[in-house]
Structure formats: structure tokens, C-alpha cells
Amino acid sequence: MALIVQKYGGTSVASVERIKQVAERVAKFKMLGHQVVVVLSAMSGETNRLINLAKEIQTEPDPRELDVLVSTGEQVTIALLAMALKDLGLRARSYTGSQVRIITDSAFTKARILDIDNQRLHDNLDAGCVVVVAGFQGVDEEGNITTLGRGGSDTTGVALAAALHADECQIYTDVDGVYTTDPRIVPNARRLDTITFEEMLEMASLGSKVLQIRSVEFAGKYKVKLRVLSSFEEDSGGTLITFEDNRTMEQPIISGIAFNRDEAKITVLGVPDTPGVAYQILGPVADANIDVDMIIQNTGADHTTDFTFTVNRNEYARAMDLLETLKPKLGAREIIGDKTIAKLSIVGVGMRSHVGIASTMFKTLAKENINIRMISTSEIKISVVIDEKYLELAVRVLHDAFELDKQPVI
């Protein structure tokens, strides 16, 4: 008997029919003698619908109230699944994040899980119940409802698996695993049987939304056995996130391509080149809780600096307003921004031991006349910022150039 946490995403619970199918899959695991905890997302489109309702009232919705609102989506699906399970003759109970005591900090809309009180879960499991938990949500120490950021049900799933010392956390979605890149953009993308934890961490942080980044961080920290599978197909095996790289020299250097359209670029032009400039610009940005991603600083011959960085597109307006107010203090000539950019990254642990990857990447983009606006590298990834309109073309030509569609020879 194993303890399994299964998380089902929005498309997997998009209708009553789909929910009944999830109930049947859960029942199958239960019949095999396993204990099952199920974590659910809201029906697909529901979270967006709720956010749009809020925006009809406030252009920048109050974060606390937004969390009260959007957390309702998951409450609908858990109740329906618990009913469907009972209808199949199983014992089941649904719980909201707050009822399970998923304690988070108070950073509304992007809260972090601090603690999970798993007593109630264990009691229910011991009594033979399937426990159905609302993903994406928790409660802070003052009793306020919080949510974990978009895609946060993945993190609920992995965090519960860690707290319960589950044997496996299965993430059921609308694709049958992690692919070399988003299969919606590149039809000949290839499913990976395994991907290293490090690579998955990079892919997720660089925009592959198949797993929320924090869920991968949790899996790494608590060594949760994590698998991505299809809820639409039977027994595909999916993709296992591995903690060791057992691959041989013949394995590919690049494992995948990730991209992110949610980026915007801001440049502070002509700031005097003095110590502390980066802090003067980025300190207030951080204080305003705006995440900064890539950063470039260029000093010209006239001893002024152009300082460019990227932020999440939905924080762009706030960041631009903030910098406009800082402009006189910074002594900057101008603040300019661009919301039509995208970031594309190639990821692979093999990059550690191979040279020439960057030049292949840049040559491939140059051949298509795609201008690179920013570059950043780490040991196992190379990221470029390009115009958003070239993104899909860039992903496809790079997928071909690195032959990611081909099964590596072992």
C-alpha cells in the first residue's frame, strides 16, 4: 500500500463529465489498496473569469479580497469530486486549504506555504477516506484566505506530498508529460521520460508552466517523487523528475526550450555612473514587491549608465510609474519601456561539459534575422530576450537546430 497525492489541473476538471472521470481514476488507485489524497484546481477558465469580474470593479483589485474571490473556484471542484467519489461508493471528504491548515505568509496573491498541519489528513486517510483538498489556497496566521500564485495547485500537491511523506506526487494535466518544449507551439516536441530536477527547475522558472516553479522547489527540498502525467490518456508513464543525472555522454546537451511571454523591459537612460546606482534603482523596485528578472548595465564614454531590466508584464505599469517618480532623484535622462518582448531559454545540464552552444543558438537566430535584445546565461541555461512577434519562429528553429525532436542514442 502506498500513499499517493494526485493533483488534477483545470482542464482535467473542466466539466462534470471530466470530474466523474477523475473520480474513476481515483477509485482505481483506491481499489489497488492505496491511500489517496487528491488536490484540485478550479475548472479551466474559472480563475480568469473571477479575476476579470474583480477588474470590472477595481482596475487593480484589492489583493486580500481578490484571494477571497479566486479561492472559490477550487471550492466548487473539490465538493463535486467528493460527491462523484461517494457516488462510486467510496468514502471521501473535501477540504479547503484553510480547513486543512495550509498555513501561508500574508503575501496575498503570491503567498508561500509556511506549514501544514497534517493531522486531519492522516485521520481521514486512516479511516479509509479519499481526502480531496482545494489547491492554490491557504490561510495566514490571522485567518485571512491567501492564494499561492497562478498555477499554485501544483505547489499544494507537492507540499502535501512532502508533509505526508507520500510515496509519489502525480501531477495530472492535459499533456502526457514534460516535453522538450511546449507541444502547442512545436508539434514535433518530444516527451521526456525523465528530466533532472535542476533542469525542471530552470524550465519552470523560465516559463514552462506545466509545473509551477515553487512546486519544483518543494520537490527538491523534500525529495518528493514527482511525476507529470496525462489525465486524458491511460498509463503513458509520463515524465519522472529525477534527482540524479544518470545519463551518458550520448545524451543530448540541450533538454528543452522554455519561453515566457509575460515579460516587459524597462530602461533607465543616462544615469550618472556612480557607486550605488543599481541599488538606487532596484531598491525601491524590490520594496514595492516587484520581481526583477534579467539586468543589464552599460556604461557609455560620457560616464553615464543605461540600466535595463525585465519585470513581469502585469507589474510593468506599476514599475514604470515608480521609476518616473524616482527619475529626478536618480538624475536619469529618460525612462523607456517595452511590453512586446518575450524571453526564450535553452536548458540542459549537458551545457556544463560542452562549448559552442551559445554560438549555435545565436547563429540560428541570426539566420532568421531575429534580433537579440538581452542575453543572460547560467551553468545550464542560456536566455535571450527577443521581440514577442518572433517568439514562436525562434522556438521552432532552435528546436530543429538542436534536434530536440530526435530520441537521443544511448
Q: Does 97 bind ligand ASP (CB under 6 A)?
A: no
Is residue 207 part of the contact set for ligand ASP (CB under 6 A)?
Answer: no
**Cα(204)–Cα(213) distance, rounded to whole angstroms?**
5
Q: Looking at 118, 146, 153, 173, which residue binds ligand ASP (CB under 6 A)?
A: 153
Binders in 379-408 for ligand ASP, by CB under 6 A: none
Count of residues of this chain found to bind Mg ion when the rule CB under 5 A is applied: 2
Residues 113-152, mask of contacts with ligand ASP (x by CB under 6 A):
----------------------xx-------------xxx
Stretch that binds Mg ion, among 76-84, 117-125, 147-155, 294-302 (CB under 5 A): 147-155
Terminal-to-terminal C-alpha distance of the chain: 34
Q: How far is the CB of 119 from ligand ASP (least distance, A)?
A: 25
Q: Is the dihedral of CA 206, 209, 211, 213 positive or negative?
A: positive
Q: Which residues bind ligand ADP (CB under 6 A)?
A: 9-12, 41, 151, 173-175, 178-179, 181-184, 208-210, 256
Asked if residue 73 binds Mg ion (CB under 5 A), the reply is no
Distance CA 45, CA 65 (A): 19
179 binds, among Mg ion, ligand ASP, ligand ADP, none (CB under 5 to 8 A by kind): ligand ADP
Grid coordinates representing 238 are: 509520463
Alpha carbons 82 and 96: distance in angstroms, whole number: 12
Residue 13, binding choice from ligand ASP, Mg ion, ligand ADP, none, Cβ under 5 to 8 Å by partner class = none
Residue 356: alpha-carbon gap to chain centroid: 29
Least distance in Å: CB of 41 to ligand ASP? 3
Among 41-49, 124-132, 338-346, 372-380, the segment contacting ligand ASP (CB under 6 A): 41-49
Assigned C-alpha cell, 91: 468514502
Smallest distance, Å, CB 137 to ligand ASP?
9
Those residues with Cβ within 8 angstroms of residue 71's Cβ, 6 or more apart along the chain or in another chain: 96, 97, 134, 136, 137, 145, 147
Closest approach, Cβ 185 to ligand ADP, in A, equals 8
What is the C-alpha separation between 294 and 333, in angstroms, rounded?
A: 22
Choose between 11 and 383: whose C-beta lies nearer to ligand ASP.
11
The CA distance from 51 to 45, in Å, is 10
Place of cell 466523474: 20
The nearer residue to ligand ADP, 10 or 61, going by C-beta atoms, is: 10
When asked if residue 9 is in the footprint of ligand ASP (CB under 6 A), the reply is yes
CB-nearer residue toward ligand ADP: 12 or 124? 12
Nearer to ligand ADP by C-beta: 77 or 124? 77
Residue from 61, 97, 151, 350 in contact with Mg ion (CB under 5 A) = 151
Burial 129-141 (b: 16+ CB within 10 A, else e): bbbbbbbbbbbbe
Distance CA 218, CA 158 (A): 6
Which residue lies nearer to Mg ion by CB, 66 or 171?
Answer: 171
Of residues 146 and 156, the one with the C-beta less far from Mg ion: 156
Q: CA-CA distance, 149 to 169, in Å (whole number)?
A: 20
Dihedral (Cα; 162, 165, 168, 173), 10-degree rounding: -30
DSSP 10-64: GGGGSSHHHHHHHHHHHHHHHHTT-EEEEEE-PPTTHHHHHHHHHHHH-SS--HH
Residue closer to ligand ADP by CB (options 319, 351) is 351
Query: Could you list the residues that contact Mg ion (CB under 5 A)?
Result: 9, 151
Query: Could you list the residues that contact ligand ASP (CB under 6 A)?
Result: 9-10, 41-42, 47, 73, 135-136, 150-154
